[in-house]
Amino acid sequence: MFSHGEEVVTHLRSHRLKTRLAAILYVVIALSYLVWRPSIFHPDAWCFSLLFYFATLYGIVLGILLLRSCLNTGCRGPAPKDYRPSVDVFVPVYTEPADMIELTVIGAKSIDYPHETFLLDDGRRPELREIAERHGVRYITRADNAGAKAGNMNNALKFSTAEVIAVFDADHIATRESLDTLVGFLKDPAVGMVQAPQTFYNEDSFLYRNVIVGGGRWHEQLYFMDVLQSARDLSDGTTGVGTGVVYRRSSIAALGGFPEATLTEDLHISLMMHKRRMKTVWVNENVAWGVAAADVAEYYKTRRRWTYGNLQSCAIEQILWCPGLRWQHRLAYAGRALNLLSGWQQLFFIVMPLYCLLTLSTPFVPSLPNMSVVVFTQLVLMWLLQIASAGYIRFVPSQIFSMGIMFVQIAATQGLLGKKMVWQTSLKNVLGKVSPGKLLLHVLLLVISVLAISLSILFATRVIAHPGMNEERSIMLYMSTLWVGFNCWRSWRWISDSVRLTRRTHREYLFEVELPVRDEHGAWVANTVRLSTQQCEVRWLVPETQREPGQPLQVLIPGHTIHLRADVVDGDMMEITCADETSRDLLRLSLYSVDWHRQVRLCKHMRATRLKGLGGDWQPVIIHDVGRQDATWALWLPAPAGFQQDRLMVAADYPSGQILEIEDRTKGRSARQRHVLGNEIIPHRFVPRGMNNNHFHFYETALAESP
């Protein structure tokens, strides 16, 4: 419907002057600082001074690599439409919930592009065979789990004959237009893989923050997906993320199948393609919606597997000296490995101030000017990185996540030895669970930090005499105490956020979608705020509405009216039950067709979409067809800036000139007006069609003349 890639590029270009100035300043200040720093090495602690210097150099190198990505991004246009190879869609599954897998199967089966869908069951479950038979997809299993996901797909290749293989993970629900978005780029015979970003629908996960950047809500992987991968695409060097991807079958065959030596076949196969000079393509459009880790236990499990497998792939393929890799690709993989090893740098910056505080040792000549330059430079460099990334790197959440992932990265470093890690199954739950044991190391670090700060206060107040204390070393004591306090805050935020944000999850994800709610008499009484098939949060529009358990309600979704019952009413939150299975299935399929309601909710923040007259604050309205009695859902946008006519988004195909009676409550009370439809607006990209077969249309609209 709206191009996410265009939104990202438009956002970055709007900050281009600031990002370039910030990048230049970063490099100048960082290099000047690195040249100056050896001049203040402590003569009695050369080893300590060198360690501190190289830890700082490590961070600056990562920062410069980040700047290189932010200054070089692009966006591919629509895929060529004159290349239509045969496609088989693989859905590899293991122990994920059957309900989740069924939604993924429905999404894969419903893709518009002609294809055959394969459900690859490594768990050998009878209920999954029944799901495959019910939805008319091929069911494939095997006797063992050798090679994990890669082995599962290699087994399926024996039964597949298509020219192109598409892969969607068990929790990733494909959009109807997903293959049309990706497959055409394989027209270039040198392209072996076309990859789209890994995106998630459960935005109550603790990975997300309530900040909008580049047309989407900020999450921990946003910079990697939106900026880094787009930058790598300029040199045909994007890496796979395992889902929302299409492969040329002949390219997989040339590599000997999907690589089973590592747990991250996605990055590994990318690396193998690049060594053989095959191209890989990044299409920054959302083609599937998955489940983000809902709690810290699942987060650690997936990140450890990714870190271990990626480092293992780099070690096996010998990225620093293997033949075949272009220098851009070699630099990209080396930078990724450095980033995955940054847990060691974090550990040093945690242990170092503790050591300084307890021993009064100093990694540089202690003086107020020296300390001021060291601290001030670090703060300025972090501030410049935020500006240069146009908001994709955010100081507070980045510091919290770097603290949280530290021990996982350290443990996964053994992946460099090339030994394969045992596969750890992800539960893929949207309901998070607090796991105190997973936070134990951070609790211990927090306790040690608090004790160290208490001890420093005793040193500073001379309650406890510290041998060797003098004026210069007291300056180092104060600096170390502040640094330990900062790390203490990071540990506390990771612990508290892991608990607090996990508890905001629900047994079924509540989608943020605004739909009209009517009472049993057809009066429009509320709008939904968040909605699932079990719960509903509403904003009441009619204060005197009866709010008792058992009352029947109607929710207007695109193309359908859902009948439900409010079992429990607690203010704005209700426990609900759909009137029948048909209503429940239609509601579920409409909600999990995520792209339409997510983009409508976010397009008020979208720059490129506003320029085309489709961006702004869309409001729910009800259409009453002239001459008919039924009421249907629609969205209405008052004339956007620079445009003369209003916009209407509907789930039906109307002829130009059709007169509709539109009911809205934008001014606090119900009002009906007759509108005449003008020209249909055709967006730049595909207009999505939901899993319940609703095809969305946009029209210009204006008030009709009185009859």
* Pairwise CA distance, residues 242 & 186, whole Å: 17
* Pairwise CA distance, residues 490 & 401, whole Å: 9
213-233 confidence digits (pLDDT tens) = 988 999 999 999 999 999 999
Tell the residue number behind the tokens 């612990």, with chain if given: 495
pLDDT at 696 over 70: yes
* Pairwise CA distance, residues 12 & 372, whole Å: 33
pLDDT at 468 over 70: no
239-290 confidence digits (pLDDT tens) = 999 999 999 999 999 999 999 999 899 999 999 999 999 999 999 999 999 9
Amino acid 261 reads A
What percentage of the chain exceeds 90 in pLDDT?
Answer: 72
* Pairwise CA distance, residues 509 & 25, whole Å: 44
Looking at residue 521, its pLDDT comes to 87
Of residues 530 and 705, more confidence is placed in 530
* Pairwise CA distance, residues 120 & 149, whole Å: 9
Torsion 454-458-460-466 (CA) sign? negative
Q: Quick one: tokens of 485?
A: 């306090």
Q: At 303, is the secondary structure helix, strand, or coil?
A: helix
Looking at residue 1, its pLDDT comes to 62
* Pairwise CA distance, residues 151 & 540, whole Å: 52
Q: At 324, is the secondary structure helix, strand, or coil?
A: coil
Which residue intervals of 218-295 are DSSP H helices?
222-223, 229-233, 249-254, 265-275
* Pairwise CA distance, residues 14 & 119, whole Å: 44
Looking at residue 669, its pLDDT comes to 67
Average pLDDT over residues 385-406: 94
* Pairwise CA distance, residues 549 & 640, whole Å: 41
pLDDT at 306 over 90: yes
* Pairwise CA distance, residues 270 & 239, whole Å: 5
Looking at residue 668, its pLDDT comes to 65
* Pairwise CA distance, residues 585 & 472, whole Å: 71
Name the average pLDDT for the chain: 91
Looking at residue 280, its pLDDT comes to 97
* Pairwise CA distance, residues 689 & 687, whole Å: 7
Under the banding of pLDDT at 50, 70 and 90, the label for residue 707 is low
Which is nearest to 4 in space by CA: 174, 241, 216? 216
Helix then strand then coil, in percent of the chain rounded to 5, is 45, 20, 35
Looking at residue 706, its pLDDT comes to 62
Domains within the chain, CATH numbers bracketed: 87-292 (3.90.550.10), 511-592 (2.40.10.220), 595-703 (2.40.10)
* Residue 296 · residue 401 · CB < 8 Å: no
Q: Quick one: tokens of 13?
A: 């270009």
With b for 16 or more beta-carbon neighbours within 10 A and e for fewer, the 504-539 pattern comes to: ebbebbbbbbbbbbbbeeeebbbbbbbbbbbbbbbe
Lowest-confidence segment of 167-181, 483-497, 551-565, 660-674 by average pLDDT = 660-674
* Residue 364 · residue 42 · CB < 8 Å: yes
pTM of the predicted protein model: 0.93
* Residue 246 · residue 193 · CB < 8 Å: yes
Q: What DSSP letter does each residue of 118-185 carry, written as one string? A: EEEESS--HHHHHHHHHHT-EEEE-S--TTHHHHHHHHHHTT---SEEEE--TT-EEPTTHHHHHGGG
Chain-centre distance of CA 172, in angstroms? 12
Tell the residue number behind the tokens 């190198």, with chain if given: 61
pLDDT at 65 over 70: yes
CA atoms within a 13 Å half-sphere pointing along the CA-CB vector of 387: 16
66-125 confidence digits (pLDDT tens) = 998 888 888 888 899 999 999 999 999 999 999 999 999 999 999 999 999 999 999 999
